[in-house]
A = this chain, B = another copy of it.
Amino acid sequence: MTSMQVVLPDGKKLELEAGATGSDVAAAIGPGLARAARGIRVNGQLADLFSTVPEGAEVAILTDRDPEVTNLGRHTLAHVTAQAVREYLAAEGHDPAAVKMGIGPVIENGFYYDFDLPRNLVPGDLPEIEKRMRRIVKDDLKLRRYSLPREEALDRYRRLGDPYKEELISDLPADAPITFYEQGGEDGFTDLCRGPHVPSTGLVPKHFRLMSLAGAYWRGDETRPMLQRVYGVAFNTKEELEQYEWQLEEARKRDHRKLGRELDLFTFADDVGPGLPLFFPRGEIMRHEMETYVRDIQTRYGYEHVWTGHVVREELYEKSGHIENYAGDMFPALEDGETRFRLKPMNCPSHMTLFNQRHHSYRDLPLRYAEFATLYRYEKSGELSGLTRVRALTQDDAHIFCTEEQIKEEFGLALRLIRETLDTYGMTDYYVQLSLRGEEGKYVDDDEKWSRATQALRDALEAEGVDYLEAYGEAAFYGPKADFMAKDALGREWQLSTIQVDFIQPARLQCEYIAEDGSKRTPVVIHRAVTGSTERFMGVMIEHFAGDLPLWLAPEQVRVVPISDRHRAAAEKLVQRFTDAGLRTGLADEGERMNAAVRDAELLKIPYIAIIGDREIEEGTVSFRSRQEDAQNGVDVDAFTRHLQESSRTRTLTVKPLGS
């Protein structure tokens, strides 16, 4: 028996027998830790106690205090769900072999499992399945992990008549281990699974709930069978589950699709097609204001805007590598028999083409090209959702052409721009996920360049004081990247802004500049999006503000309501006065009674309602109600106008009350 060494988080080395598992490491450290151990981290990757650890690995033992353990337990809960569904249907008299299974992964807050079942589940089944799940958890069934040779594994599922698992195995690389997790012994439940899991069903997060059912195509492919997906959530505390359920309920009320209808912002039409939103005048104002804001801030930060349209010849995407790597996400080609065109799924090749239309010297760098171009991505129709998942997305996209030495400064500048933007929208709770290369070979192999860039990014994040997490192995193949994960008013996390360093594409598209020494060099390109896409961010903001948009974003900022018909002429004058002051102003419908007019304005969540009657006309004042501050009567019209202008101009979220 040979021995091996692993390295612990404190740097200590531990001597173990070759082939030792996570459990063995924990046991070697001490019996207390062995009992508390739920999983391990090996060379930065999450793994379970069943996994063997390689020679020389850095190993950390994870306990309930480590947040990653929750996801191990959620994964195990997916298996518990599958076992419970099988038992539940068997109890109804269905053949357990008729319960076939797709995949059951961990997702945010929980997990799901896809089934091909002898009958369709309905929401009423979920509490019954949950009961069985609680029993399985209570039984604290031990998990066991084992591998089988490929033929034996295939044979098992062929015998069971389960085509899904058989297909999954067939698609594994020839040298991949084929592992199974068994819970409750041979009579319990066994699933083809890569792991990782907690060591027993008693160690899952205790506060779980099956939330919903949905149809899901096998492997997301619309031409394959439709499976039944069971969604569940799971948390370690009752409070977390309650918070989640509150959030869900609140989100239902704030649903941007519902508010989009009520506030007359946008729509979808069958005649135009799924995922292709149409914006009514009110929605167009909101998106225009959002883009104007980003345009302003980009100009202030030294970006230049360009325009490159929506269609390019397919050859460009062959050069850039998009046809090879990204064709599945693109709209089909437009072909006229001679030329093939594509709708742009991203701007980078176009911006690099524009860059190449001029000779550049190092003195021109950094060059920051920004564009609000609508991009077209062929999301599967089943995955489309309101504005947050569309096929037409207008990115606030930029590409920064710079030297390697400029990466840190440009990255820092982009960080500041993004922070300022998110702050403006009140998205102040965020962190950056810094995605770095892992150990695997999918990355370009200039080690030096990668580590210099990684360090530059870390330095910039430190210098800007931005919280960040490092995610190994999550980098794009072309370079490291930083994604902003921001929490909205409901505490939901959205991936919005992104900054990505690219060492590859500029060379593929032969971008170059003349360096100070006269040599030709390839610039680094930094891809950067501030809010991501206008459409998606608009959806997020509608929910974040629950439709109560800040004054600067509100399509109609103030609505004038005359107390009675004889005040209408004065009301019209007031509308003109506000309009001339640059405020987006509406007027109550003719003949509408004041209370009805006020209610109409409230339904549209118009920030200010300016009421005008005898007293106001006489005094040259206005009385207002507002969603943003306390109502006031008899306010000087000029003071009121300036107050709104100021609040709109400064894009403030918290209005300083008038007269305070």
Q: Tell me if A49 is interfacial: C-beta within 8 Å of chain B.
A: no
With both beta carbons as reference points, the residue of chain B lying nearest to A381 in the complex is identified as B339
Alpha-carbon distance A406/B268, docked complex (angstroms):
30
Q: 14 A-B Cβ contacts within 8 A?
A: A267-B357, A269-B353, A269-B354, A272-B309, A272-B353, A278-B308, A278-B309, A278-B357, A279-B308, A280-B306, A332-B341, A333-B334, A336-B378, A363-B589
Q: A residues within 8 Å of B by Cβ?
A: 267, 269, 271-273, 276-281, 283-285, 287-288, 304-313, 315-316, 319, 331-336, 339, 341, 343, 349-350, 353-354, 356-358, 363, 369, 374, 376, 378, 391-392, 589
Q: Which chain B residues lie closer than 8 Å to A281 at the CB level? A: 304-306, 369
Q: Does the CB pair B305–A288 fall under 8 Å? A: yes
Which residues of B lie under 8 Å from residue A391 when comparing CB positions? 311
| Chain B residues closer than 8 Å to A358, beta-carbon distance | 280
Q: Smallest CB-CB separation from A312: which chain B residue? A: B272
B284, B316, B378, B392: the one within 8 Å of A310 (CB): B392
Taken together as a complex, chains A and B put the C-alpha atoms of A494 and B171 apart, in Å, by 63
Residues of the B chain whose Cβ atoms lie less than 8 Å from the Cβ of A273 = 311-313, 339, 341
Contact B307 A278 (CB under 8 A): yes
| A311 and B331 contact, Cβ closer than 8 Å, known pairs A271-B353, A354-B278, A357-B278 | yes
Most buried by B among A277, A284, A316, A331: A284
Greatest chain B CB density within 10 A among A306, A311, A358, A589 is at: A311
Residue of B with least CB distance to A369: B281
Cβ of B271 and Cβ of A319 under 8 Å apart? yes
Given A311-B331, A331-B336, 8 other A-B residues pairs in contact with their CB atoms under 8 A: A271-B316, A272-B312, A272-B353, A278-B306, A279-B307, A281-B305, A283-B307, A288-B305
**Hey, which chain B residues are within 8 Å of A272, CB to CB?**
308-309, 312-313, 316, 350, 353
Please measure, in the bound complex, the distance between the C-alpha atom of A589 and the C-alpha atom of B374, giving whole angstroms: 35
A48 to chain B, nearest CB (A): 41
CB closest chain-B residue, reference A276: B309
Residues of B within 8 A of A335 (CB): 332
Q: By the criterion CB–CB under 8 Å, are A287 and B307 in contact?
A: yes
What's the nearest-Cβ distance from chain B to residue A405, in Å?
A: 18
Pair A392/B311 contact, Cβ less than 8 Å: yes
User: A186–B311 Cα gap in the complex (Å)?
Assistant: 56
Asked whether A279 lies within 8 Å of B306 as measured between CB atoms, the reply is yes
Q: How far is the CA of A304 from the CA of B283 in the complex (A)?
A: 11
